[in-house]
Amino acid sequence: EVELLLTKTKPKKVTLVGSDGHEYPFLLKGREDLHLDERVMQLLEMVNSLMRRDRAGHAKGLRARHYNVVPVGPRAGLIQWVP
């Protein structure tokens, strides 16, 4: 399933069906290099790991929201759709 979003860059919302039968929505973006976005998400995962180890951070339930970013080329990529 593909849905065109009416914005300047016209990204597409793509729903993929996994081998487990579940549907996984992604945003397909073109004309943008998503490698930096991917690195930032990896950094947020590391921050979350450090906060889980910290007693005060863990007790407060602190975490940074991150999502999957998959560059599929130098100027295109998939971004996990977060509801």
Tell me the mean pLDDT in the region 22-46.
93
> According to the model, what pLDDT value does residue 1 have?
72
pLDDT in tens, 50-60: 988 988 888 88
- Radius of gyration over every alpha carbon of the chain, rounded to an integer in angstroms: 16
> According to the model, what pLDDT value does residue 4 have?
76
Backbone φ, ψ for residue 21 (5° rounding)? 90, -10
Is the per-residue pLDDT at 2 higher than 90? no
pTM exceeds 0.85 for this model: no
Tell me the mean pLDDT in the region 3-27.
89
In this structure, are residues 28 and 78 in contact, taking their beta carbons and an 8 Å threshold? yes
Question: Of 56, 58, 55, 77, which Cα lies nearest the Cα of 68?
Answer: 77
- Unique residue bearing structure tokens 């998503």: 34
